């Protein structure tokens, strides 16, 4: 049996190697402190789990959900966007429920590009943008994001040819892996460019709620003309420590949402109604949980960053996301460094090159393990 040609277009998956290395260390009976995965160790609020339990026994919730998400859920998302981010959208026409943002991103690419089209993607960046582009037959054009520009793209450096063929541009702030936060000017430029060249900006805001800064990271939808050329992906995975629930939403340009909705009608059957209903409750009643969560990540960041700096890493300072992006102390390959780290200390971190060519020379540490384990990791690493 031969799988599709399409699969052979996928770039090599570096994280599979890391998984194998972790398994090998565990097989020696060692405990791996895993700072390589963005999956929160913290639990969702108890009241949210209780709300889901209540919803599970409600009559009718076990039937097929609506494809787009219930009107109540979409209106709650619109209210959330307005109150938290100053972004005005129509819940019925400009919001779609997603089975997590990963699903929405993959299907948006499928709904918007044809073979040969270009997708502008940040490098380093969330690998999904390139993988889904490859599966849809498109070409990814890398936009380097480097420390010189605070990890924001240099739009002026994008070649005219790539702009001409571009159908989509991905931005992601607060950023995975760099933890950088966008400026409004960055979004303004992206929208102006998108309008000029007729492409759609897809802003992945999966970490927008994870910030301990004095001002909230901006939403692209808070710009007055954003809906002409942009959509924004929001996730409940990190906000409510509910990665396994698989719920997110996308809001913005209604034409793009129609294309995505069309793909989804043919590919999936929506999000479990009980989960949508419980998350309406979270948006309406549990906003207060977010500040507590962010202060836990902030204190973990502060102490682990200090330890890394003591070891000679150059840490990019941020108060958003739950990642630390650190430049390696000496010129060395990030894969080799992470392999050595894992073998000698049983601490797993992600090599920067796993996020694309321009991530080389860096390592990403995820703050999603208990504080004691972070301290243990720092002690082990100091002996490296
Ligand atoms: C940048 C980014 N976007 C999207 C996702 C996917 O999140 P979700 O759980 O909503 O599918 C992740 C997950 O880690 C991510 O890092």
Q: Which atom of ligand 1 is nearest to the CA of 243?
A: 9
Cite the beta strand spans of the chain per DSSP E.
33-34, 95-98, 118-123, 139-144, 166-172, 200-204, 230-235, 248-252, 314-315, 323-327, 347-348, 350-351, 362-366
pLDDT digits (tens, 9 = 90+) for 329-346: 988 899 999 999 999 999
pLDDT score, position 14: 76
pLDDT digits (tens, 9 = 90+) for 235-277: 999 999 999 999 999 999 999 999 999 999 999 999 999 999 9
Of 109, 126, 207, 242, the one to substitute when testing ligand 1's pocket (max ligand atoms within 8 A of C-beta) is 126
**CB burial of residue 150 (10 Å; 0-12, 13-18, 19+):** middle
With respect to CATH, is domain 5-43+289-382 assigned 3.40.30.10? no
As a 3-state breakdown, the chain gives helix, strand, coil percent values, each rounded to 5, of 45, 15, 40
Query: At residue 179, does pLDDT exceed 80?
Result: yes
- The second-level CATH assignment, the architecture, of 46-285 is 3-Layer(aba) Sandwich (3.40)
Cβ(180) – ligand 1 distance below 6 Å: no
Q: Please report which confidence band the pLDDT of residue 12 belongs to, taking 50, 70 and 90 as the band edges.
A: confident
Query: At residue 384, does pLDDT exceed 90?
Result: no
Q: Which atom of ligand 1 is nearest to the CA of 103?
A: 11
Cα 132 from chain centre: 14
What ranges do the domains of the chain cover? 5-43+289-382, 46-285
pTM above 0.95, yes or no: yes
Give DSSP secondary structure letters for 320-340: BSSEEEEE-SSS--HHHHHHH
Rounded to the nearest integer, the mean pLDDT of the chain is 96
Q: Which atom of ligand 1 is nearest to the CA of 175?
A: 1
Cβ(211) – ligand 1 distance below 6 Å: no
CA distances from 322 to 126, 184, 204, 238, 367 (A): 14, 22, 15, 9, 5
Cβ(206) – ligand 1 distance below 6 Å: yes
pLDDT digits (tens, 9 = 90+) for 116-155: 999 999 999 999 999 999 999 999 999 999 999 999 999 9
Cβ(176) – ligand 1 distance below 6 Å: yes
């Amino acid at each position: 049996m031969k799988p599709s040609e399409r699969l052979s277009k996928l770039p090599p998956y570096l994280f599979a190697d890391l998984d194998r290395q972790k398994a090998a260390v565990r097989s020696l009976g060692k405990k791996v402190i895993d700072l390589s995965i963005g999956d929160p160790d913290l639990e969702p609020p108890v009241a949210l789990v209780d709300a889901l339990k209540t919803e599970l026994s409600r009559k009718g919730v076990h039937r097929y959900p609506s494809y787009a998400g219930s009107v109540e859920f979409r209106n709650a998302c619109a209210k959330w966007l307005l109150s938290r981010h100053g972004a005005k959208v129509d819940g019925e026409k400009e919001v779609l429920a997603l089975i997590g943002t990963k699903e929405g991103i993959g299907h948006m690419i499928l709904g918007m590009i044809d073979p040969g089209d270009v997708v502008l993607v940040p490098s380093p960046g969330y690998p999904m943008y390139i993988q889904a582009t490859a599966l849809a037959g498109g070409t990814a054009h890398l936009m380097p994001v480097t420390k010189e520009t605070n990890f924001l793209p240099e739009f002026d450096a994008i070649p005219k040819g790539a702009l001409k063929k571009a159908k989509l541009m991905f931005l992601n702030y607060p950023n995975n892996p760099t933890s950088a936060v966008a400026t409004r000017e960055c979004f303004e430029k992206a929208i102006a460019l998108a309008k000029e060249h007729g492409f759609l900006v897809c802003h992945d805001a999966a970490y927008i709620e994870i910030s301990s800064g004095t001002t909230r990271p901006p939403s692209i939808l808070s710009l007055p003309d954003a809906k002409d050329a942009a959509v924004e992906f929001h996730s409940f995975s990190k906000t409510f420590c509910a990665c396994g629930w698989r719920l997110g939403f996308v809001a913005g340009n209604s034409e793009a949402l129609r294309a995505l909705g069309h793909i989804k009608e043919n590919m999936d059957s929506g999000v479990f109604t009980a989960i949508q209903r419980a998350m309406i409750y979270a948006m309406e009643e549990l906003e207060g949980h977010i500040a507590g969560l962010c202060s836990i990540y902030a204190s973990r960041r502060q102490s682990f960053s200090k330890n890394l700096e003591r070891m000679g890493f150059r840490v990019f300072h941020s108060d958003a996301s739950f990642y630390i992006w650190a430049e390696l102390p000496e010129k060395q390959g990030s894969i080799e460094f992470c392999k050595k780290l894992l073998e000698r200390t049983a601490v797993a971190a992600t090599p920067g090159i796993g996020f694309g060519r321009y991530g080389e020379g860096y390592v990403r540490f995820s703050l999603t393990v208990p504080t004691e384990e972070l301290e243990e990791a720092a002690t082990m690493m100091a002996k490296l």
